[in-house]
Amino acid sequence: MDKGPNIPPVVEQVHQAPHQPHIDVAKERGEILLRYRGLLRTIKGHRTPDDTRLIRKAFNIALEAHKDQRRKSGEPYIYHPLAVARICSEEIGLGTTSVVCALLHDTVEDTDLTLEDVRDLFGPTVANIIDGLTKISGLQFGTDSIQAENFRKVLLTLAQDVRVILIKLADRLHNMRTLDSMVRDKQLKIGSETLFLYAPLAHRLGLYSIKSELEDLALKFKEPTVYLDIEQKLKKGEAVRKRFISRFTLPIRESLDKEGFTYEIKGRPKSIHSIYNKMLKKNVSFEEIYDVFTLRIIIDTKQELEKADCWRVYSVVTDYYQPNPDRLRDWISTPKANGYESLHTTVMSPGGRWVEVQIRSKRMDEIAEMGLAAHYRYKDDEEHASALDDWLGRVREVLEDPSSNAIDFVNDFKLNLFSDEIMVFTPKGEMINLPAGATALDFAFDIHSHVGRQCIGAKVNHKLVPLSHKLRSGDQIEIITSKKQQPKEEWLNYVVTARARHKVKQALREQKRKLAVVGREAAQRKLRSWGAKVDERNMAVLVEHHRATSSTDLFYRIARGRVDLDILGTPRVRNGRLALPKIVVLEEEKPLEDVVSGIRGEASGALVIGDELQKLEYQLSTCCNPIPGDDVFGFITQGEGIRIHRVNCPNAVQLMSNFAYRIVKARWKGKDSMEFLAGLRFSGIDEVGLVNKITSIISHQHNVNMRSISFESNAGIFEGRVMAFVQDTDHLSSLIEKLRRVHGVRSVERIDN
């Protein structure tokens, strides 16, 4: 066992940097030693003396390499690799190799240590993982948000060694936990990037607790008021929840004890992000969300008895409480693609509220909490290991095509990261997992790319359906093919899986290349007839004249009849050189730099934008209708100046993640006598005179001009919408508060458009 006798001499190397005058060096040494020993304790169960020596060696090297570095918070940098290593071992369940890599993960990029040094000291496996982590450029803490091309690099490393991504997730989780020390715009960019890529990846790899925490932390920094409000309401109701769970589980515990089960019952609130999403999706308030917590029954049983025992526990639960048949989810008989297994049911409690109950074995719970990493511990479980291998195989398949556009690639890949799953069957009864919303065409491509390319229709449950038909769980599908069929552009509107989109785009590019050959020959014939040389220089003149993106694009358009070279008549040719007039570039096609310089004017406005805080011309985006007082950012468009979006705009996450270089700081300055359009939606119990009360408050008490107002009443329930002109968020909040006090009004909320 490592008692740490060799650590203090190395810790002595942590010294006071000249620009940090008030640092208690001795206290920091003690804290580093404490954190190192804490890390060792988390891997105590499966740690050999050799493992300990290797970890100590990595720790000492990382400590020496980072000795002059500090984080934005002022803490010694070594705190970060120690924390990442601890997340890897304690929260993801990774072993010694990953802990060593986590300790060293920033050394090659940020210090004098080279990859060759790491290879010599720790061998090829550790070096390859460190190399993978280093190659994900732009991901280290404190830089600008990564772009689509970097996402592709992330996924390339995933296809090589999954541990690279797991360590990167641990790194991101610790960075999110310590994001307070960053400036606001960095918090927004890093938070958006986390929601865009890292949370979906954690979800797909089965790391549900990490996925939930990443989402919660992203929400905390993107919308602090919303986060704090839900967090306080959850804390406020904690005592009531505990009493309810205690009463609810009492008869279940008694029965399980009689049956002789070894079990544990946990009641945990759902993540703040998932509660907020449900509020948005169902258009309800926090108080109207009935399932803010989940009850989990974890049984300790042998692997061969798991399925039967879980159903026995289900029987016990439903003996006491009425289940909702539409809410039964059996992921024990058919685990999710990432290996997740559990039995979910929703039952009615005596107090008249629905309660979600999850039933699983200890092994299943470990896989649910630690995801892919737990599979390393259950390698004999071939069924789940192969499901994971299948998924990683598909990742590699999508990565095979380096010519695809980086942003398209990321969007295609993300389609499969965060989607729910359906289970469908082939005519022979083989089961296939597809994302929810998948079509018959997706199924065809899932069978084989040739089947997909030649697909002309399908029979679902023996009934003929079109390619665009959306599949449902339990459907049995037979694909109808024809050798004459060719993929079409419109197919991209039907498919939702990354595999199908990738294959359709690949086929369309092949078709384009074949047609381009025909177009090239036509262009060459035309050049000869004009007496011009058939060479690249003259082809470039034709490309420029027709404003094609490339010669291939021009040849394709000629073959399809979209470009008619006969219109040119007989152009001027001198010494074999073709001379054609240049087309004037339209305003919207100016380079980004020209667009930015073009919109830097002195026009007065209520918005101040950018690091230099110049006043610029801008437009308020219609997707979220920002008003003064909103937390906003600017997005540089090509040709339309700067558009202002709210931070919680539906498009914000994608804009900040994919186009961070076009994001500029924005804030409202002063209170101009301007009015901005904002929308409100309200609902409640229909009463006589209610509409009159609402319009009176809006028009007379608040002097608000309305652009439109509409009401609908159905069986005693009314719903209304109003678009009105307000001065700022304070003005809007005051109006919302007044409307909520009207007798009969149950909810009032702002809408985006």
- β-bridge mates for residue 749, sequence order: 681
2 is catalytic: no
CA 220 to CA 215: how far, in whole Å? 9
One-letter amino acid of 278: K
Which pair of structure tokens corresponds to residue 107? 């050394």
Under 8 Å between Cβ of 748 and 698: no
**Residue 698: which residues within 8 A CB-CB, separation 6 or more?**
704, 706, 709, 722, 724, 735, 739
Which pair of structure tokens corresponds to residue 621? 């985006």
Q: Pick left, alpha or beta for residue 710 (phi over 0 → left; psi -120 to 50 → alpha; otherwise beta).
A: beta
Under 8 Å between Cβ of 216 and 272: yes
Which pair of structure tokens corresponds to residue 196? 């865009």
Helices (H), 136-180: 148-160, 162-177
One-letter amino acid of 72: K
109 is catalytic: yes
% helix / strand / coil in the chain, to the nearest 5?
A: 50, 15, 30
Orientation angle between helical segments 148-160 and 124-135, nearest 10 degrees: 160
CA 392 to CA 470: how far, in whole Å? 25
Q: How far is CA 184 from CA 52, 180, 189, 191, 609, in A?
A: 40, 9, 9, 10, 14
Q: How far is CA 461 from CA 204, 427, 448, in A?
A: 30, 9, 20
Under 8 Å between Cβ of 465 and 440: yes
Residues in the chain: 753
CA 35 to CA 591: how far, in whole Å? 51
CB atoms within 10 A of CB 728: 19
- Single out the catalytic residue among 75, 90, 110, 330: 110
What single-letter DSSP state applies at residue 638?
S
CA 298 to CA 198: how far, in whole Å? 28
CB atoms within 10 A of CB 483: 7
End-to-end Cα, the chain, rounded Å: 63
- Single out the catalytic residue among 64, 90, 109, 117: 109
Under 8 Å between Cβ of 17 and 38: no
Which pair of structure tokens corresponds to residue 224? 């602090």
Orientation angle between helical segments 124-135 and 96-104, nearest 10 degrees: 50
| Closest CA relative to residue 658, chosen from 411, 419, 418, 417 | 411
CA 706 to CA 723: how far, in whole Å? 6
CA 223 to CA 279: how far, in whole Å? 15
**b vs e for 148-168, b when ≥16 Cβ sit within 10 Å of the residue's Cβ?**
bebbbbbbbbbbbbbbbbbbb
| Closest CA relative to residue 37, chosen from 5, 67, 72 | 5
CA 406 to CA 79: how far, in whole Å? 35
Which pair of structure tokens corresponds to residue 40? 């060792």
- Tokens 């022979």 found at: 428
**Residue 719: which residues within 8 A CB-CB, separation 6 or more?**
681, 682, 683, 711, 712
Enumerate the active-site residues: 109-110
